[in-house]
Chains A and B, each alone.
Chain A
């Protein structure tokens, strides 16, 4: 198997031998430029070639062509039917082979421009989608029978109930971590009792809604995109339309409504588990007894704080559901695009959730809540 293609000078030309196949000609290819040839007449003996494929024929063709260009006459000897056929084949296609086309490469500026244009276009169609969804929601509000209750229940289960374990665990751990970090500092000042303030306020106002929204965006938003995207690829969306079922009504509204209900509930659950995590940590590390912690919590946590945290959840839910569904509809044609839009959907919804959260913070501080 080691018999590489060879080309050895002999008298008035050269003789070729060995396997002239794609796997064995690379070495010869590199050296073929440096070969020395007789001045006018070159005899090429190919009888000893044991096997030839298109790559070998293309190399031989190249060598012969170069010799001919240099004004030499080339005589091929010992070519069997297969070698002859392959040489004819590559000669016939040589023009095309020498110019492989490539997709046009955009210049940097053009790239920026196209990207900006595409983004602008996408934001506009996102707004359009939000508008159409709102209109459909309003219609459903006036005529609640349009709402599919069974679908809503199913979405509630998958987006809400099934997310309880992961949301609870992460919120609990978050409470533990905050209590630990805060406790270290507070203990130095002998103010360990205030660990309840830190855990309570940061959890209830910011972290619980945020963590819940991020988990749900990764877990449920992506599922929305993948589900709708797959349905676009398999033309199920068109099938729905053709039967006279508006895709918005069966695919988007139940998901949106389910998430608007589920996300605040999940946030309450995250609140509880986060505070519990803080309790466990301050109990074991700071030696704070549970009653003291809970009493302090009751003083620190006002209704305003609680509501300002929970109040953000429905807004986050709208963002996650609308972005998730919208990106699902953006899928075009191939299965590969489902994966791409799913990634985009998660990144965009987390991005938007964080932006909106910052806007809330600024607004609350102006309002003094």
Chain B
């Protein structure tokens, strides 16, 4: 990848930074003292057991929720989530795929993907549709699927349509909440490929949550492992595998972790 002036941020530069993030719901502490950095052009995977606060952490980083303590900064600017329209310019630089897709049910896929473009640009409607079609195809959907409504889509297609809407405005950072969960192995593989393809063609920075050990091996440049409301470890897969931290070892040397690792070695 050749660094150039057309880049939003040069590769390796920190685009998302969380400092001392804490989140509590009532007496329940979900996140505590989290420091996390995402660098431009990388795929950062957030992993951890169910209920370890992965989704909450992503919501904090993606400006969907305000942390009870700590700060989030995007592209070097501190963000606030006090109001829905706060920092709208920053929000436009983020794309989010929600776990269930969160597509608007009364609109076709094409209309869904057009929504951000219609809202934030003054392009002509036919141009908007053309650009939406590009994103739909990039997300790996058949062109015909653009005319379908979300209820007519399978789970995998719905996730792809959600990705297409997430990248409609060519965001700098794409957040993916469990992109391969609930998909059959073939679709999950295809989803991994899609993440890599998007990163390479659109030069995206990707933050993804996953349970899928295979995805970790395949796509993640760095991994942040959450446990007990904290970041237990953060680093490349190799670093984590060499770690002698008990939590990390328990996670990666689980039966599934070993199986995925063995499959990847081959």
Contacts and interface: CB of A to CB of B under 8 A. Distances in A.
Contacts of A51: 6, 8
B134 A93 contact: yes
Contact of A101 (B123, B143, B169): B143
B132 interface: yes
Given A51-B8, A54-B131, A80-B2, A96 B137 contact: yes
B4 A80 contact: yes
Interface string A7-38: 00000000000000111011001000000000
A50 B5 contact: yes
A81 interface: yes
B122 A26 contact: yes
A332 B127 CA distance: 34
B22 interface: no
Nearest to B114: A100
A202 B116 CA distance: 56
B236 interface: no
A26 B134 CA distance: 18
B165 interface: no
Interface string B191-223: 000000000011100000000000000000000
Interface stretch (B12-20, B102-110, B242-250): B102-110
A328 B129 CA distance: 36
Contacts of B203: 82
A110 to B, nearest CB: 17
B106 A54 contact: no
A51 B7 CA distance: 7
B4 A82 contact: yes
A96 B6 contact: no
A80 B6 CA distance: 8
Contacts of B131: 22, 54-55, 58, 97
Contacts of B110: 100-102
Nearest to A55: B131
A49 interface: yes
Interface of A: 21-23, 25-26, 29, 49-55, 58, 80-83, 85, 89-90, 93, 96-103, 332-337
16 contacts: A23-B120, A29-B124, A55-B121, A55-B123, A55-B127, A58-B134, A80-B2, A80-B4, A80-B5, A82-B6, A96-B133, A99-B143, A100-B132, A100-B143, A100-B146, A102-B110
Given A90-B134, A97-B131, 16 more contacts: A22-B169, A22-B170, A23-B120, A25-B123, A53-B169, A54-B170, A58-B127, A85-B201, A93-B134, A96-B133, A97-B137, A100-B146, A103-B149, A336-B106, A336-B151, A337-B151
